[in-house]
Amino acid sequence: MKSEALARVASACITAVLAAQPYSTWMTDSIMAINVPKTRYYTEATFYRGVEYVYNATHDEKYKWYLSSQIDAILTDNGSFVNWNPNSRQLDSIRVGETLLFLWGQMGEERYRNAIAFLHDELLAQKRTDEVAFWHKDPEYPNQQWLDGLFMGDTFYAHYTALFEPTNQTAWDDIVLQFDLMEKHCRDPKTGLLFHGYDQSHQREWADPVTGASPHLWDRGIGWYFMALLDVLDWLPQSHPGYEKLVNYFTSLAKALRKSWDCKQGGWWLVMDAPYPGMKGNYIESSGTAMFVTGFLKGMRKGFISRKEYEKFTLKAYDIMAAKFVGRNETSGALTWEGTVKVGSLSGNATYEYYIDQPIQRNMLNGVGPFIYASAEIEALRGQLQM
């Protein structure tokens, strides 16, 4: 009952706000104005994906020029990366490849193409487990595959393959296999959600003796994975035997996520496994929530889940999320994004205490980006912008 009322209030005030300016562009403009560091790091690249969404919807050139000016600061004239660290090879470094593919598609400049080729080489040179899953980070996290990595590396791998090697079956099989292995080790039969990662060598103290999986369901990890499934399905040929499999991974996860939405709080908990939802220190976290809402919206747009079943729920989840986590700076008029946890990693002991101890940060781009994706999707759905 309480959440019904909240949803009504939220819809009322958001409609008023949207009439003035859509959240997608408003949030993007607000974040652009506060000087996002010019790095090649995945956190910035997660925001850049939002800028790309907004460019596609508005065709306002300022968004394209913004992305090229951010990226040009990290490339030399011939497209090699400045400050590349050859001693740590990690999937996180591949994420910016999606932004490069976008810029190359828009501008056709050779240095972007060179940078793309370099990232592809780096990805293929990444060490792998015995079952040939990419390590998340070498040398730091040997034999570990994390949910995060599918969004960081596999989406670029699929996009690249679709553009440059569309008939390379070896590559497509390899891309699908990364999801198969994640499913094999981390899907939790009890909840239908996935544990954050696994260590195939079972060396880490947190590794389950049978599966190697880490012990907790972390919202943002699951969010990366949920979005990665859809982004890879944008490129994977429908004729590939993995296509139906990935659709099933997505739809079963969508079902489990819908069930784990807390209808009293109107969102998803940071640590999602029982008995932690509602427990002291745990909270409704905004980046995972935005990623799940994005997945539901895009999943409906692509026809993988039905509007009949999901639309009402998703609109409500979006409105409550926006009411809870969008703030406004009264001096500048800029929007802020609240409630996103700064980090969650398997580098430590992976306990409940570890996850809840991590700080929450305003305007954290891992949450801002997905909120922009969700906003662009919902505005298109509500007929406010063309996609």
Q: Taking the complex as a whole, how short is the minimal distance between the CB of residue 116 and ligand NAG, in angstroms? A: 13
Interhelix angle 242-260/219-233, rounded to 10 degrees, is 150
| Residues catalogued as catalytic | 148
Question: Is residue 188 a contact residue for ligand NAG (CB under 6 A)?
Answer: no
Q: Report CA-CA distances (Å) from 186 to 71, 131, 137, 145, 325.
A: 35, 15, 18, 10, 30
Q: Taking the complex as a whole, how short is the minimal distance between the CB of residue 180 and ligand NAG, in angstroms? A: 16
Measured from the CB atom, the residue of 119 and 256 that comes closer to ligand NAG is 119
Q: Which of 53, 66, 249, 325 binds ligand NAG (CB under 6 A)?
A: 53
The secondary structure of 90-126, three-state, reads EHHHHCCHHHHHHHHHHHCCHHHHHHHHHHHHHHHHC
Q: Taking the complex as a whole, how short is the minimal distance between the CB of residue 71 and ligand NAG, in angstroms? A: 15
Question: Is residue 81 a contact residue for ligand NAG (CB under 6 A)?
Answer: no
Measured from the CB atom, the residue of 275 and 359 that comes closer to ligand NAG is 359
Tell me the backbone φ, ψ of residue 89, rounded to 5 degrees.
Answer: -105, 120
Question: Is residue 58 a contact residue for ligand NAG (CB under 6 A)?
Answer: no
Rounded to whole angstroms, the Cα distance separating 189 from 250 reads 15
Which structure tokens are listed for 77? 């004239």
Interhelix angle 286-301/219-233, rounded to 10 degrees, is 20
Q: Which of residues 33-52 bind ligand NAG (CB under 6 A)?
A: 49, 52
Transcribe 274-294 into DSSP letters.
Answer: TT-TTSTT--B-HHHHHHHHH
Question: Is residue 168 a contact residue for ligand NAG (CB under 6 A)?
Answer: yes
Question: Is residue 109 a contact residue for ligand NAG (CB under 6 A)?
Answer: no
Rounded to whole angstroms, the Cα distance separating 267 from 293 reads 10
Question: Is residue 239 a contact residue for ligand NAG (CB under 6 A)?
Answer: no
Query: Cα 70 to the chain's mean position, in Å?
Result: 20
DSSP reduced 3-state for 335:
strand
Question: Is residue 173 a contact residue for ligand NAG (CB under 6 A)?
Answer: no
Run of H or E residues at 328: strand 326-328
Q: Taking the complex as a whole, how short is the minimal distance between the CB of residue 111 and ligand NAG, in angstroms? A: 9
Measured from the CB atom, the residue of 11 and 58 that comes closer to ligand NAG is 58
Question: Is residue 183 a contact residue for ligand NAG (CB under 6 A)?
Answer: no
Question: Is residue 110 a contact residue for ligand NAG (CB under 6 A)?
Answer: no
Q: Taking the complex as a whole, how short is the minimal distance between the CB of residue 9 and ligand NAG, in angstroms? A: 24
Question: Is residue 215 a contact residue for ligand NAG (CB under 6 A)?
Answer: no
129 within 8 A of 141, measured Cβ to Cβ: no
Q: Taking the complex as a whole, how short is the minimal distance between the CB of residue 262 and ligand NAG, in angstroms? A: 25
Measured from the CB atom, the residue of 52 and 379 that comes closer to ligand NAG is 52
Question: Is residue 105 a contact residue for ligand NAG (CB under 6 A)?
Answer: yes
222 within 8 A of 252, measured Cβ to Cβ: no
Interhelix angle 2-20/23-32, rounded to 10 degrees, is 70
Q: Which of residues 260-299 bind ligand NAG (CB under 6 A)?
A: none
Rounded to whole angstroms, the Cα distance separating 121 from 115 reads 10
Q: Taking the complex as a whole, how short is the minimal distance between the CB of residue 332 and ligand NAG, in angstroms? A: 4
Run of H or E residues at 379: helix 365-381
Question: Is residue 80 a contact residue for ligand NAG (CB under 6 A)?
Answer: yes
Residue (of 224, 207, 219, 217) closest to 129 by Cα position: 207
Q: Which of residues 319-378 bind ligand NAG (CB under 6 A)?
A: 329, 331-332, 348-349, 351, 353-354, 357
Measured from the CB atom, the residue of 277 and 369 that comes closer to ligand NAG is 369
Measured from the CB atom, the residue of 49 and 220 that comes closer to ligand NAG is 49
Strand pairing partners for 337? 326
Among the candidate windows 168-176, 189-197, 269-277, 302-310, which touches ligand NAG by CB under 6 A?
A: 168-176
* Site of interaction with ligand NAG (CB under 6 A): 49, 52-53, 56, 76, 78, 80, 105, 124, 165, 168, 170-171, 174, 329, 331-332, 348-349, 351, 353-354, 357
